[in-house]
Chain A
Amino acid sequence: MAGMAAADLMEAEVLRRIGPDPAAEFDLFLPRLHSFQYTHNTAYRVFCRDAGCGETVTSWRQIPCLPQAAFKYADLRSFPAEETVKTFRTSGTTGEGYGQHHFRSLTIYEAAVRAGWRHASLPSGPFLVIAPHPEEAPFSSLSHMLATLAKKEDFIAPGGTIDLHRLRDLSGPVCLLGTALGFLQVIESLGTNRIVLPAGSTAMETGGYKGSGRAIARPRLYTLLGEKLGLAPEDMINEYGMTELSSQFYARGPRGLHYGPPWTRAVVVDPVTLEEVGEGETGILLIYDGANVGSVVGIRTQDLAVKRGDAFALLGRDPSALPRGCSRAADEWLTS
């Protein structure tokens, strides 16, 4: 089958490019990935045509970015549905359904996780994970990502109960991986106690507080983690990722900028014109992900960010924005 052969070839090429030493020239490769997806992904092709974009683009900047929410409503596979080996789901809010990201192969996803981790110069372990294992959360891309880095026995919060004993009596530095909510639970379950982790330990936190009705700013979380676990500010890392992507962006310290691996591009644009904003200006975040082979290369996220060179400072959905009146708006449903 010609389609299958094309997918195999494309996957092999991406794997080679995002390998241990990422090859350059993604500027030229991303347009080719777009052409591949345009040919093999009907929903994407319709979207591109509506956006006035054809099969061929001369620059990756011409690739239209699909709204993140589209994953809720369309089958965005660049391969036949029967070849699907894995589907990750977004958490979704009540009544809205969830988004689905289908994979023909997890090899690229996992290679991107590992290579991206190395590229960000993050520790190679040992790890302790404060998040559900994929066996508990089979549709969670985050759980799969964490299980790609850590072993099953490293997951210390089975059933949502954190085994604090695993944090004590460590013989050497450890790298904690988990959701921000998970770390908040660690802080709370410690009460007035603290556990000083061995020097050189690190923590990588990710994900929001969706559905929990809580949120604390990153600097505050890092201050608390510093107090409770003895972690230094620069040894705490935030991961920005989402179900709709295959790659991750990392920021170091309470106010660090997010950087992606070489096969990604992050562009901050004006929400109306979609033109890139100037340095230091705020806009919505577009992500191009060269590892998103089986879905779509360009995603228009729902997050706000400030442009800082090739990196970005994440503002998120700005949950702190003051409501102007007494109208209960869409945002308020997300935090309650």
Chain B
Amino acid sequence: MADLMNTAERAEAIAGAAEVFPALLGPTSARDLLAWVAAELGDACALDRWFDHGTARTKALAPGLILHVVSGNTPHAALQSLTGGLLLGSRNLVKLPGTGLGAVDQFLARLPAELRARVEVSVELPAAWLAAADAVVVYGSEQTVAALRARVLPGKTFLGHGHKSSLGVIWHDPLFESCLGAARDASLFDQQGCLSPQVFYVREAQPGSARAYAEKLAAAMDQFSGTHPRGPLAIEEKAAIANLRAAYRFRAAGDLRVALWEGGAHLDWTVIYEEDAWFTASPLNRVVFVKPLPPDLAGAMGPAVDYVGAVGLWPCTEELADRFAALGPSRFCPIGNMQDPSWTWHNGGVARLASLVKWVDFEPSSGLTV
């Protein structure tokens, strides 16, 4: 198929479609997208023309056909993955969850016909799609990723993004300046994203610092909820939060090592302080734990240490990032910006564009005769 649009033109078109999703996709100008290409492929025009590569010249080749499988029903992963595929100039098959995703339809409707024609969407996964795809990108549970990995032929590119748990570390914040940001991080998208913190660990400069932080965070959660109410809850989500609250309410009544702040009669938000540092997964939908930072945080994570997405830091310094390297996240960032990854973020620890392309090199004649 003749490639009528070059990378810059595709970036321009995608940016136009993405501009209606500022909260979901963050800043997405053509410039941002081209910077992403340049960061990962070494040159913003790497897909369009030869450029210097050591003593040779090289060019990136996008996969002809990318299959994106998105099993959760929030649109982040679908839009981000599809954006990458379109930017590369590939044709894209997108398997959406059974309910479909309105945001994806909206995004597609805003694309120029030439790009729109490069996307096919389905809520089923036709076997032919798996066979035809040159690269498969999967966002889903561990089981979903493993099941699809097993069905993809060895020679094909496979990128699996399993579910992740994120957390925050408050190293030094005597004035509780990070609380509003922490509340935003834990409230946006109702904690459904892999960048949503579930636990904040607070270094205790003095005994009681973590508990005091929890109280301030509760106030901040309430404030954020006032301007950004959470979305509707399914009955099982309601039950999970209500049951957790009931259990912690019981504990808090007889145990000073536990405290509970409950927002609103409608499960708006919940902050739980717990002295036990063991990582407790949240039932999500704005339920967040605050715990004292233990000496061995990676140890306290237990099995969750294998699933760390992002670690929010306050203050956010490279020294602290190095200190918590054992958590193995793919992103350290300031608390308050956990939901705002840049396009260049190595999601899952991989360069998302670079790991999809292949390279062809051109070695010019040396001028020597044999």
Contacts and interface: CB of A to CB of B under 8 A. Distances in A.
Contact of B238 (A271, A327, A330): A271
Given A329-B282, A330-B282, A70 B247 contact: yes
Given A326-B161, A328-B164, A329-B283, A272 B194 contact: no
A153 interface: no
Interface string A86-102: 00000000111000000
Contact of A284 (B72, B191, B239, B303): B239
Contact of B240 (A95, A325, A331): A331
A95 B283 contact: no
Nearest to A324: B192
Contacts of A46: 253-254
Contacts of A283: 235, 239
Contacts of B253: 46-47, 50
Contacts of B247: 67-70, 73
A67 B196 contact: no
Contact of A327 (B163, B244, B246, B278): B163
Contacts of A336: 142
Given A73-B255, A94-B303, A271-B243, A326 B72 contact: yes
A46 to B, nearest CB: 6
Given A43-B254, A325-B194, A300 B246 contact: yes
A249 to B, nearest CB: 19
Interface stretch (A131-139, A165-173, A315-323): A315-323
Contacts of A300: 243, 246
Contacts of A323: 71-72, 141, 163, 192
Given A69-B250, A73-B250, A322-B72, A327 B239 contact: no
Interface string B284-309: 10000000000000000011100100
A63 B303 CA distance: 39
A272 B284 contact: no
A221 B253 CA distance: 42
Contact of B139 (A66, A318, A326, A333): A326
Interface string B258-292: 00000001110000000000111111100000000
Interface in B56-84: 71-74, 76-77
Interface residues of A, number: 38
- Chain B CB within 10 A, most for which of A43, A323, A325, A331: A325
A282 interface: yes
Contacts of B166: 327
A324 B307 CA distance: 17
Interface in A81-136: 94-96
A12 interface: no
A332 interface: yes
Nearest to B250: A70
Nearest to B142: A336
A73 B257 CA distance: 12
Nearest to B283: A330
Contacts of B278: 95-96
Contact of B165 (A69, A324, A327): A327
A178 B307 CA distance: 35
Contacts of A325: 72-74, 76-77, 189, 192-194, 196
A271 B192 contact: no
Contacts of B283: 329-331
Contact of B196 (A94, A317, A322, A327): A327
Contacts of B72: 322-326
A221 B250 CA distance: 37
A329 B281 contact: yes
B303 A272 contact: no
Interface string B218-256: 000000000000000011101111111011011101110
29 contacts: A43-B254, A67-B250, A73-B251, A95-B279, A95-B302, A272-B238, A302-B243, A304-B235, A322-B73, A322-B97, A322-B98, A323-B141, A325-B73, A326-B77, A326-B192, A327-B191, A327-B198, A328-B162, A328-B281, A328-B304, A329-B283, A329-B284, A330-B244, A330-B280, A330-B281, A330-B283, A331-B283, A332-B142, A333-B303
What 6 A-B pairs have minimum CB-CB distances, sorted nearest first? Answer: A325-B192, A69-B247, A271-B242, A328-B163, A325-B74, A326-B194
Given A67-B247, A322-B72, A327-B193, 13 more contacts: A67-B249, A69-B243, A74-B250, A272-B267, A284-B239, A300-B246, A323-B71, A324-B190, A325-B74, A326-B140, A327-B163, A327-B196, A328-B163
Interface of B: 71-74, 76-77, 97-98, 139-142, 161-166, 189-194, 196, 198, 234-236, 238-244, 246-247, 249-251, 253-255, 265-267, 278-284, 302-304, 307
